[in-house]
Structure 1
């Protein structure tokens, strides 16, 4: 299992140190100082997210067995999403210099904080970054409940075949299950012989589940505890899905031996989302997805500045650079899902 998502220099391929299109862009980015670390920014961000996490649970304990608790569940769903986004930046080496420190922080924020296996997610996300939107190599577009191309739809059987017919309409409702799905996938991953740091991964996941369920069922009556759990996990899943769905869904996919060079592989498969500081805050900077995929080790606050350089470079090369608004990005993703499921609906679909 890969232990670090790493930076683009490790995956740029042949010619990255010479005169390739990506190498020239990389020199511009480095010259602009955009790969420099931002320890102050991350110190404030980690402290703020940790304070929100602790504060949310403190309010939960103070309120006790109250029907106001679903409001706390809504707030904590947002906070859990922010914790997951912090774990994402940690995984990319944006926060800490060393892999050991990144791994420890990643497991604390991921396994203990939100109940998601850091090692499992790291392996999955590393493969995604290496081959975004490649149907055989990117686990994020592998056929599961949803299908991402007509070819996947034609090969679908069982539940994916049924869901695929209506997947555009079911996409957002299905996101309510994503929080639960992350936990199930994380527990299953512990059975993998390639799982590194198995002991700490298992211990922290167990601690998360025990503390979470213990708090709910010790403080709340069974009915209120169940309501809190459903509201919290459903909205957490929706928030995560709404954060990651605009990035690649609906962008071109690859199959077989199709292997564009590094720059085109990352740019053509990614979509940027326009917006100001609020959009960047809500999406954890992933609205600048093109820049993030080209330079995954770049600190989040530098992505907006990098956008101007990357966009100009793509224009010089004639490489399409796709950017749209947030609502339109969801619309594009849903249209893609509808087109992908057409073979399952038949000629009248």
Structure 2
């Protein structure tokens, strides 16, 4: 590993870690039943009810109380759809139900990023190469320097401002993520493939804009402007929340990155340890877990991305105990601390250096 925190592990330790985590995954997978199915159906019903309620309130959006209530309700609905439903359904977490309406191959989320492109950039690339420099495009999303191991350039001086803009427009950043623009510029990707992806993104953006910024505002008649403002606000708030949760799961504190050559001959146990060292959790209650899509359990999600999200809360204590057993860090902390730690990195690494490992988390 690039990191030194796993240097004490012997090959036998990695094998034992793989056996224990494989056994844990098999145990949970074998225990999935109607309780889990009822959970996701219940969340979807609540999400759709909240969206309908929010849209209904916005029919009177010229009244400040109705605007505030409608916008807040619509925002919650969009967060639930994006985080606990869309993200997790497209991971295949509910494919075991064999429900064609709640399946990774059929779900298209309320987001400008086409599902098939997101599944490639996220499920395939990110979850395979988690935090491997030059392989995982989610390390700084290609525009931010979040580690001492990343080369500094003068463009990074403005990255705190760039990160604010990325948060507000996060769904658009996610939408272009699978284009792999660095490879496009290097001529490594067929231009025809890039054009096809751009057309798909354009179609998705058009559908989303018509729904949120034209159709529903028109339904409110003379209150078009206030309903349009509500739709813009709900989408921006959803984007900021998703950005915050995802960044807090990947960049705070002592979360580590890895050199590409460490992939050579990587065993299952080494892959598991890379997920443990390259992820961070957010401590909190049931509401936080729900609204974060259970990505407050980012460590467990990286270990078992296709297990239903509602099971992470029961898996987490056992993963933490395994980390203690093998003297590995288990990165976790309250939301405010993780947000502060993430922003501290973004501001610090906007400037040159440090290049020594001891200063990685400064």
**Structure-to-structure mapping, 1:7-26, within 5 angstroms:** 19-26=15-22
2:94 corresponds in structure 1 to 95
In structure 1, runs of 5+ residues without a counterpart are: 1-14
1:283 corresponds in structure 2 to 292
Distance 1:104 1:21, change over 3 A: closer
Indicate if the aligned counterparts of 1:175 and 1:237 stay in contact, CA closer than 8 A: yes
2:358 corresponds in structure 1 to none
Indicate if the aligned counterparts of 1:273 and 1:287 stay in contact, CA closer than 8 A: yes
TM-score, normalised relative to structure 1:
0.77
Q: Deviations over 1:86-136 (max 9, x none)?
A: 1111112112335965245421xx1xx333311121111121111212221
Q: Deviations over 1:222-257 (max 9, x none)?
A: 643553344223212111112212111131112331
1:330 corresponds in structure 2 to 339
In structure 2, runs of 5+ residues without a counterpart are: 1-10, 182-190, 355-362
1:4 corresponds in structure 2 to none
Indicate if the aligned counterparts of 1:248 and 1:271 stay in contact, CA closer than 8 A: yes
User: What secondary structure is seen at the aligned counterpart in 2 of 1:254?
Assistant: coil
User: What secondary structure is seen at the aligned counterpart in 1 of 2:107?
Assistant: helix
2:174 is the alignment partner of 1:177: no
User: What secondary structure is seen at the aligned counterpart in 2 of 1:288?
Assistant: helix
Indicate if the aligned counterparts of 2:113 and 2:171 stay in contact, CA closer than 8 A: no
Question: 1: distance between equivalents of 2:238 and 2:304?
Answer: 27
Question: 1: distance between equivalents of 2:91 and 2:195?
Answer: 19
Question: 1: distance between equivalents of 2:207 and 2:193?
Answer: 22
**Structure-to-structure mapping, 1:39-188, within 5 angstroms:** 39-61=37-59, 63=60, 65-67=62-64, 68-85=66-83, 86-97=85-96, 102-103=103-104, 105-107=106-108, 110=109, 113-126=110-123, 127-142=125-140, 144-150=142-148, 152=150, 154=152, 156=153, 160-164=155-159, 167=160, 171-172=163-164, 174-182=166-174
**Structure-to-structure mapping, 1:247-286, within 5 angstroms:** 247-250=249-252, 251-259=255-263, 261-286=270-295
Indicate if the aligned counterparts of 1:131 and 1:265 stay in contact, CA closer than 8 A: no
Question: 2: distance between equivalents of 1:175 and 1:136?
Answer: 23
Indicate if the aligned counterparts of 1:314 and 1:321 stay in contact, CA closer than 8 A: yes
User: What secondary structure is seen at the aligned counterpart in 2 of 1:320?
Assistant: coil
Distance 1:25 1:223, change over 3 A: closer
> 1:53 Cα shift?
1.7
1:12 corresponds in structure 2 to none
> 1:24 Cα shift?
2.5
Question: 2: distance between equivalents of 1:178 and 1:204?
Answer: 15
Indicate if the aligned counterparts of 2:112 and 2:201 stay in contact, CA closer than 8 A: no
Alignment length (residue pairs): 317
2:307 is the alignment partner of 1:298: yes
Question: 1: distance between equivalents of 2:192 and 2:68?
Answer: 36
1:27 corresponds in structure 2 to 23
Indicate if the aligned counterparts of 1:267 and 1:321 stay in contact, CA closer than 8 A: yes
Q: Deviations over 1:39-78 (max 9, x none)?
A: 11111111111221222222223x1554543542333222
Indicate if the aligned counterparts of 2:53 and 2:70 stay in contact, CA closer than 8 A: no
User: What secondary structure is seen at the aligned counterpart in 2 of 1:287?
Assistant: helix
User: What secondary structure is seen at the aligned counterpart in 2 of 1:69?
Assistant: helix
Distance 1:35 1:90, change over 3 A: farther
